[in-house]
Structure 1
Amino acid sequence: MNKLKVMVMTQNDRFFIPKNIYKASLVCDIVEIVEVDCKSSLDNKIGDYYKWFGFRQCAKMGVVTIFRELEKYIDRISGYKIFHGLCSVRDVAKKMKVPHQVITDSNDKQFLEHVSKLQPDLIISYSAPQIIKKDLLDLPRFGVINVHGSLLPDYRGALPSFWYLYNDEKMGGATVHYMSAKIDDGSIIMQDCVDISDCKTMFRLMKKTKRLGGELMVRAIKELSEGTATTRPNEIDKGRYFTWPTVKQAKEFMAKGYRLI
């Protein structure tokens, strides 16, 4: 199997995405990892999380994040021998000796020129927080694929982990699909479901769906490399689209016994 040259696009994450990037690196040649730091990145929505979940839940998440940051620095001191660079996107890139950069606009002309020179066969997205426009979508010969934490076409849009719990769903899932100029709109390469009936927090649910999504991405890359990948339509008229929750919806979420963490 010829390994594809792959660019990874994502956002800052300490808990799930670094491990998925590492898994993907076992079946492809990752040539660069790009973090997109924009208005819709989760790191830049802390104020919204405070409005939705309140001080106690945000403080609890803050404590967990601080411990993860400590693990990151311990890992760096050890030469990545303890946590193997899996405490941040930047660190997993350094551990794998892969170029890493942070950008603010996925569709910026200068970034497009950079990607054109790099000539990746494929771009893979793990929670990349911006709509990718046609100019970038058309650059890699195998296109751009994304992993979304739901069973598309249902639960398109923002925070499927919130909406799955809000709607008291018992089964969740993940989908790898081609990206188009619309949100979660491209044809589906593969998907699978996972039992979320024991999940009372978004963090636990995300742990399940992100793990599944990482496994599906590995399988998708393998099939694209081997020329065996198949797709089916993402029939968006048969699924629901969700945006960011309102404060009222977040209070209803908490009233049902669900939590952020």
Structure 2
Amino acid sequence: MRVIVLTTSRLGTAGHHLPVIATAKGIEIVAVILSEGFVTNRSKRHWRNLKKIARIGVLGAFNGVRMRRWYGEALNSYCNIQSVEDTCRSLGIRFEKVPSTNSRQTQQLFKDLGADVAISLGNGYISPKVFTIPRHGMLNIHHEILPDYQNAQSIIWQLYNGSAETGYTIHKIDARIDTGDILLQEHVSIKFRDSLAETVTATLAEVFDRSAQGLKKLLENFHRYYDNARPQGTGKKYTTPSYRQYFTILQNFKRLRNINRIPE
């Protein structure tokens, strides 16, 4: 089976997962495509960001910036994730760059490569002009449980709702975000540490390891999972937490840590 990997991050999910799925039996990764994130409509993006700040407040936006490190720099360091370009070079996988995820260049590459399926590892919205090109469309890994946590940052919203469990979902990509049919899902216990930041990073590292193995298993048994995909049903969407929501997350974290923490 011929597979394309599409990502918008030089580090992160793609760099972590590639060494695992490259060992999948019967799978050829024909190319990894990195979107450089060129924004064609900056005014629309600024307006969207302003509306988000109005919704979550300035303090919520500040917390959002602070939390990025948990999911980015801290996670990459914790897992020793290499850049996707270096990973492709070491694995002998073709590496391509495009200006943006849904660009004409992306569409043309998809057509030229003739893959059976494409995998989204760390992207935002993907247009039907892209995801409908491969014979079996595109799959996405969402590092949360669907449909209950659509568009949600991993772990923090589970804590907000008083849960000590997170997980990942591999689903088909459709015209909306995180709403496609589910192929594979796994629940993972939250790994409680001294701080909320450490808890998020340590847990997400575990979820990354599990989802990489899950994706490998799915690709090796593709039609069994693909043919038995199930619709999500009604879901719930999340965004960056407001300051009040963040305070609830922090309080619930402390309470759940005292109950669930396992000595290292």
TM-score, shorter chain, exceeding 0.5: yes
CA change 1:177–1:228 in 2 (3 A) is: closer
User: Which residue in the other structure is 1:45 paired with?
Assistant: none
Do the aligned partners of 1:165 and 1:253 also contact (CA within 8 Å) in 2?
Answer: yes
Q: Deviations over 1:71-99 (max 9, x none)?
A: 9xxxxxxxxxxx7xx42212111111212
Do the aligned partners of 2:71 and 2:201 also contact (CA within 8 Å) in 1?
Answer: no
Structure 2 CA distance, aligned partners of 1:227 and 1:11? 26
Structure 2 CA distance, aligned partners of 1:180 and 1:109? 19
Q: Once the 2 structures are TM-superposed, how far is the Cα of residue 37 of structure 1 from its aligned partner?
A: 3.7
User: Which residue in the other structure is 2:216 paired with?
Assistant: 218
CA change 1:116–1:170 in 2 (3 A) is: same
Please, what TM-score do these two structures have when normalized by structure 2? Answer: 0.74
Q: Deviations over 1:106-163 (max 9, x none)?
A: 21122211210111111011222x2111121211011100111112111010313321
Do the aligned partners of 2:13 and 2:122 also contact (CA within 8 Å) in 1?
Answer: no
Q: Once the 2 structures are TM-superposed, how far is the Cα of residue 60 of structure 1 from its aligned partner?
A: 8.9
Structure 2 CA distance, aligned partners of 1:111 and 1:169? 39
- Counterpart check, 1:232 vs 2:253: no
- Counterpart check, 1:51 vs 2:29: no
Q: RMSD of the alignment, in Å? A: 3.4
* Partner SS for 2:179: coil
Q: Which amino acid is the alignment partner of residue 216 of structure 1?
A: G
User: Which residue in the other structure is 2:246 paired with?
Assistant: 250
Q: Given the alignment, which residue of 104, 107, 110 partners 2:105?
A: 110
User: Mapping of 1:1-261 within 5 angstroms?
Assistant: 4-12=1-9, 14=11, 17-27=14-24, 28-38=27-37, 51-52=62-63, 64=74, 68=77, 86-128=81-123, 130-196=124-190, 198=192, 200=196, 201-224=199-222, 229-235=227-233, 237=234, 239-254=235-250, 256=252
Do the aligned partners of 2:6 and 2:118 also contact (CA within 8 Å) in 1?
Answer: yes
Structure 2 CA distance, aligned partners of 1:227 and 1:169? 28
Q: Which amino acid is the alignment partner of residue 249 of structure 1?
A: Q
Structure 1 CA distance, aligned partners of 2:95 and 2:141? 20
Aligned-pair identity (%): 21
Do the aligned partners of 1:175 and 1:216 also contact (CA within 8 Å) in 2?
Answer: no
Structure 1 CA distance, aligned partners of 2:229 and 2:159? 29
Q: Once the 2 structures are TM-superposed, how far is the Cα of residue 252 of structure 1 from its aligned partner?
A: 4.3
Structure 1 CA distance, aligned partners of 2:2 and 2:161? 40
Q: Deviations over 1:196-249 (max 9, x none)?
A: 1536422112112222211221121112267874211111x1x32111223443
Structure 1, unmatched stretches of 5+, are 41-47, 72-82
Please, what TM-score do these two structures have when normalized by structure 1? Answer: 0.74
Do the aligned partners of 2:184 and 2:225 also contact (CA within 8 Å) in 1?
Answer: no
Do the aligned partners of 1:16 and 1:211 also contact (CA within 8 Å) in 2?
Answer: no
Q: Deviations over 1:155-197 (max 9, x none)?
A: 0103133212333311111111100010111111111111115
Structure 1 CA distance, aligned partners of 2:71 and 2:153? 16
Structure 2 CA distance, aligned partners of 1:98 and 1:62? 24
Q: Once the 2 structures are TM-superposed, how far is the Cα of residue 31 of structure 1 from its aligned partner?
A: 1.3
Q: Which amino acid is the alignment partner of residue 168 of structure 1?
A: G
Structure 2 CA distance, aligned partners of 1:58 and 1:139? 32
Structure 2 CA distance, aligned partners of 1:61 and 1:147? 15
Q: Which amino acid is the alignment partner of residue 31 of structure 2?
A: E
